[in-house]
Each structure stands twice: as C-alpha cells, then as structure tokens.
Amino acid sequence: MKIGLISDVHANLEALDACLADIKTEKVKRIFFLGDAVGYGPDPNKCVELIHKKADVKLLGNHDAAAIGLLNTSYFNQYAQLSMGYTCQVLSEKNLSRMKRFQMEASFDMMKMVHSSPKEPTSWGYILDVEDAEENFKYFEQQVCVIGHSHRPLIVKKYKGNRCEAVAHDFVHIDDDYRYIINIGSVGQPRDGDPRASYMIYDTETNIMSIRRVEYDCEKTQQKMINANLPRFLVDRIAVGK
C-alpha cells in the first residue's frame, strides 16, 4: 500500500491540488496530513475542506493553532501575523470546528507523526539539521518520526548508538537496524530553494519513503495573494521557494 504524507499546505490551493493529482496517479490509498493547513496563503477555507475530506490523519500545526485561538501570534514574524489576520477574517465556522479536531500527534505502524518535533510538539521546536535531529531521537519510541514545520525536506538516519547522519538522497529504504527522522517538506511554501510543492510517499511493500516535488501554477496563487492584500514578501517567496 502507498501512503501520501503532506504538510504545511498554508492555504495554497493550487499547490495542494497539484499534489493531490500526483497522489492519484501514484495510486496512493491513504493520506496523512502533518499540520499547517492555513496561514500565509489566500485559500484557507478550500484547503481545510480538501484536507478534511481527503486525509485519514490530520495534525494541528502552529498556524492552525493560532487560527483556532490556541496560540498567541505575538511570537510570529510580522508577515505571519498579517496573514493570520486575513486567515481569521475569512475562515468559516465550519472549517474552524474541523480544525479544532486536528490532533497534536499520531502514529501508524512503526511511524510517529508530529508537526514540529517529538521533543517539543506543543512549543513548536524546529529540527533544522542533524544536530537538532540527534537530540530528538530519544523523544520517540517508534522507528521513524515524520515531521513538517521547517518547510525543508530532510532525511536523517541513526544506527544504534552512533551519531545520526543526513541521507544525501530524496528517498530512503527503511532498514530494520536504523531509526529515522524525516521532514517531508512543504506543499504550499517550500523554503529549500526549490519552489515546487513537496510531499512524501511511503510504500509499505518496498519500505521506501520518497520525497516528491510537484510543479504547480504559482502565478495563479500569487495573483490571489495580491488580490487578498497579503504581504508582498509572502507573494514573492513562493516563486523562489525561500
């Protein structure tokens, strides 16, 4: 069976649609969503509706938490705060109540799922490199932990007591002797210099997890952002993936 893992959609409907189309051609049976349906982008309602309809697992991201009033936005940067103002203005009651049912973490087989980090799931800590990953391995029991939050794909593996190391490819075979932390990247606002939408497919038969990059109509999203008066910085960044 193939499982599609998506994260950090950030109200980018064109990117979400493109990933869902790719998921369909890959004959994916289940979809797990790792958080941040809203924030930054122009289409929070349609994205929450689609995620609600399509995803079997739905996690809460920090922007989702802010939108439902669980997180004060004072620690957000100015652009995140401005876009949260727009998000809260347009989100429907129905979608807010859907988001209130998003979970903090979930697990499936040997896989733990959390939006930010196993060490600090509710204070939204970041795992940006192998050092951060090393520290986090002791905070989950499962063989693999999949995350989002940084918007940068990263695969880290750890052999028993050795220090962990980054995998140089965008895919990995899950070996019994290793443990893994895998950041699946962002659907709606990638920040690794590649503007294409990022998500992951886990093939439970081959035991391979692979990051996929999908082109989408970024200019259409940008025009909607301009029409919604969202900050120019946010409009520009999705075209360069930074």
Question: What does the radius of gyration of the chain's CA atoms come to, in whole angstroms?
Answer: 17
# of chain residues touching Zn ion (CB under 5 A) = 2
Which of the residues 83 through 142 are near Zn ion (CB under 5 A)? none
Task: Provide the minimum distance between the beta carbon of 83 and Zn ion in the complex, in angstroms, as a whole number.
Answer: 11
> Rounded CA gap, 211 and 202, in Å?
9
CB of 148 to Zn ion, least distance (A): 6
Of the two residues 8 and 43, which places its CB atom closer to Zn ion in the complex?
8
| End-to-end CA separation in angstroms for the chain | 33
Q: 85 or 163: whose CB is closer to Zn ion?
A: 85
**64 near Zn ion (CB under 5 A):** no
Classify 109 in phi/psi space as left (phi over 0), alpha (psi -120 to 50) or beta: left
Q: How far is the CB of 68 from Zn ion (least distance, A)?
A: 15
Please choose, out of 8-16, 105-113, 135-143, 170-178, the segment that lies near Zn ion by the rule CB under 5 A: 8-16
Rounded distance, CA 43 to CA 37, Å?
10
Planar angle of CA 4, 8, 200, nearest 5 degrees = 25
Minimal distance, residue 186 CB to Zn ion, in Å: 6
Pairing mode, strands 171-173 and 178-183: unpaired
Closest CA to 57 of 7, 127, 1, 125: 7
- The binder of Zn ion chosen from 17, 22, 36, 105 (CB under 5 A): 36
8 binds Zn ion (CB under 5 A): yes
Q: How far is the CB of 40 from Zn ion (least distance, A)?
A: 8
CA neighbor of 80 nearest in space, from 5, 227, 189, 218: 189
Q: Which stretch binds Zn ion (CB under 5 A): 28-36, 101-109, 123-131, 160-168?
A: 28-36
Which residues would be at the binding site for Zn ion (CB under 5 A)?
Answer: 8, 36
